[in-house]
Structure 1
Amino acid sequence: MNSRISSNNVLIVEDETLLALMLEDLLIDSGHHVVHASSLPEAMAALEREPFDAAILDININGDDVFPVAARLRELNTPFVFASATDAEQIGPEFRQEELIAKPYTIGQLQQSLSHMLAVEGT
């Protein structure tokens, strides 16, 4: 059985360079196209430039909350997951139902979440 997921366009919004590079490598090795944004303006510009099948969002990006990006993803019907050390209680009520993978997370947790998002997207 092949554990690779079919190619999809995935947005990573992460300001920790080493973590972003690890995520990019993992996703590229799984056959995905990856766009990395390390700031909110970069993320919003990426969303206007191209469609995404899924997104992985750190909540705190250089001191700013990622929620405007999450709101835009929701408007575009693009599934996303928060991957952050931020406590769930700090997430506003409009996003509390979204999945939160707590840092430090495992590769398995991330792969399972991504697989679920892409399966839901494909239905």
Structure 2
Amino acid sequence: MSVSLAGLRVLVVEDEPIVAMTLEDLLADLGCEVEVAGTLEQGLAAAAACALDAAVLDVNLNGRESFPIAEALDARRIPHLFATGYGAAALRDRNALVLEKPYRAADIRAALETLLGP
């Protein structure tokens, strides 16, 4: 049984504009409403203020780690996953959900279903 993603409000924090736009398009095709942040500061502001159901965080934001954004999301109990080309070895929390780059729409759907599933 799959989780419905229609209407899901997803924060995407990604510093590479082409990657951010591609992920935004893929999520929109899945029926999600997307908020995009390209810097650590923008991500922190969105994590603190936006109405969100989930988030996809690039680990490396122009040389800065996105872990403070993850902590802000944790404080609000907003589930999130990390998108990285470095694998789980790049994470502090080895139990965090990782979406390996490069990814496809099916990978994103599966990762969000895992993140939000029962």
Larger radius of gyration: 1
| 1:21-63 C-alpha deviation (Å, 9 max, x unpaired) | 0111111222211000010100111122222100001100011
| 1:59-104 C-alpha deviation (Å, 9 max, x unpaired) | 0001100000011111111111111012422322xx2111112211
- CA change 1:115–1:90 in 2 (3 A) is closer
Runs ≥4 in structure 1, deviation > 4 angstroms?
Answer: none
Tell me the C-alpha RMSD between the 2 structures: 1.9
Taking the aligned partners of 1:68 and 1:107, their CA distance within structure 2 comes to 27
SS of aligned partner of 2:55 = strand
Give the paired residue count: 117
Q: How does 1:1-123 map to 2 (within 5 A)?
A: 5-92=5-92, 95-120=93-118
Aligned residues with identical type, % of pairs? 35
- The answer to which structure has the higher helix fraction is 1
Taking the aligned partners of 1:30 and 1:51, their CA distance within structure 2 comes to 19
Taking the aligned partners of 1:47 and 1:87, their CA distance within structure 2 comes to 23
2:13, 2:58 within 8 Å by CA — same for their partners in 1? yes
